[in-house]
Amino acid sequence: MKDCEYRQIPPGAAAPGPAASPPPAAPERPAENQRPRRKWEAFPGRNRFYCGGRLMLAGHSGVFALTLGLILTTSGLFFAFDCPFLARHLTLAIPIIAAVLFFFVISCLLQTSCRDPGILPRATPSEAADLEKRIDAMGTSTYRLPARTMEVVINKYVVKLKYCYTCKMFRPPRTSHCSVCDNCVERFDHHCPWVGNCVGKRNYRYFYAFILSLSFLTAFIFACVVTHLTLRKYSWQQQQQQQHTSLWVTSSSGPWGSTKLLCGFKPGFPVQISQINRGSHCREAQTHLCSLCRETLRAGDINIPLQSKCLWCYLKWVGFENVFP
């Protein structure tokens, strides 16, 4: 006979019923300030989002900051130093064209860097589990299978799709997985660190426009800088010529200016004077210049060299006796 436990019930007590279950808990009401989680907040890639998910950048954006800084610095120096001079001496169209190119380059750069390049969403857990079951049913091995493929017909052509183990889906044609951003990008071209983003279907046109406009802006700035330097050099040469001309006019305006012009501007005159003084040049009427003005030097009159038009006396009078001994 099976032993059983029992206890005495006092008279007048109600018979015990089944164990009472705890009252059901009231359903939790969601907090009033709790909002649904957005997709970019649960994004599994390595991108960073700004402005409520409207702007996205790659995980490493240091090179993009360098690119933006170089463009801003170069253009800023050009607008600060070259444009005012060229607008004043050539035409006002130069800074206008440069400004249009500059803003177009910056706009294309930001569109390329902060725009979705064509990221394909990953499979949901339920979709990934269902797909894995169908794939595992085709094989019995427990290790990871080689590259899985699936053939589909697109426009009457058989296309082979590859399976992405990270995104848990078969990639469409011309779609590749970026190892830097950890995303599958449609029509993936490459990951450009200078713009800080992948180049794909949705930003390829902006990337192409950025490269083309930046080339035009660089060539335009280079041509303007060369023109600026050329005009500066020409202006400097004109100033030097004006200074020499003013010095020539001032030197020729004195009472003995004609003699000074003869001494200063006759080609080879100092060499000729020196050779004549040493008697090593062509024959002259006298063998020594001192004999031409001996009487003048004896007189000691400072005005006599100017009156006699004697070159040697004039040189001694102006202080060049040590130059031509």
Q: What are the backbone dihedrals phi and psi of residue 192, each rounded to the nearest 5 degrees, phi first?
A: -100, 110
d(CA 276, CA 286): 9
Overall number of domains in the chain: 3
pTM: 0.57
Where residue 324 falls among pLDDT bands split at 50, 70, 90?
Answer: very low
> How many of the other CB atoms lie within 10 Å of CB of 217?
21
Where is pLDDT greater, at 225 or 275? 225
Alpha helices in 59-147 (DSSP H): 62-77, 83-89, 93-114, 125-136
User: Residue 25 class from Cβ within 10 Å (0-12 exposed, 13-18 middle, 19+ buried)?
Assistant: exposed
Domain shared by 154 and 85, yes or no:
no
**What Å distances lie between residue 94 and 73, 100, 217, CA to CA?**
18, 10, 12
CB 282 within 8 A of CB 320: no
> Is the model's pLDDT at 279 over the cut of 90?
no
Residue carrying structure tokens 């003013």 = 246
- The yes-or-no verdict on residue 294 having pLDDT over 90 is no
155-159, 283-287, 302-306, range with the lowest pLDDT: 283-287
pLDDT digits (tens, 9 = 90+) for 18-69: 545 555 555 555 555 666 666 656 666 667 777 766 677 777 778 888 999 9
Q: For this structure, is 192 an active site residue?
A: yes
Residues 211 and 68 in one domain: yes
Selected residue with higher pLDDT from 130 and 30: 130
Q: 275 and 242, same structural domain? A: no
The CB density around residue 273, as the number of other CB atoms within 10 Å, is 20
The pLDDT value recorded for residue 173 is 85
Full residue range of the structural domain in which residue 242 is found: 40-117+193-253
The dihedrals phi and psi of 9, each to the nearest 5 degrees, come to -95, 125
CB 167 within 8 A of CB 175: no
164, 192, 224, 293: the active-site residue: 192
Do 237 and 153 sit in the same domain of this protein? no
pLDDT of amino acid 60: 73
Residue 273 lies in a domain: yes
**Residues 60 and 73 placed together within one structural domain of the fold:** yes
Q: Say if residue 271 is in the same domain as residue 163.
A: no
Last residue of a domain, one of 253, 285, 303: 253
Please indicate, yes or no, whether residues 289 and 175 belong to a single structural domain of this protein: no
The listed range with the strongest mean pLDDT (197-206, 230-239, 246-255) is 197-206
- Model confidence at 248, in pLDDT bands (50, 70, 90)? very low
Instruction: Answer for the pair 293, 313: CB distance below 8 angstroms, yes or no.
Output: yes
Over residues 188-205, the pLDDT tens digits come to 888 888 998 889 988 899
Rounded to whole angstroms, the Cα distance separating 208 from 249 reads 61
Q: What is the mean pLDDT of residues 234-246?
A: 68
pLDDT of 284 above 80 = no
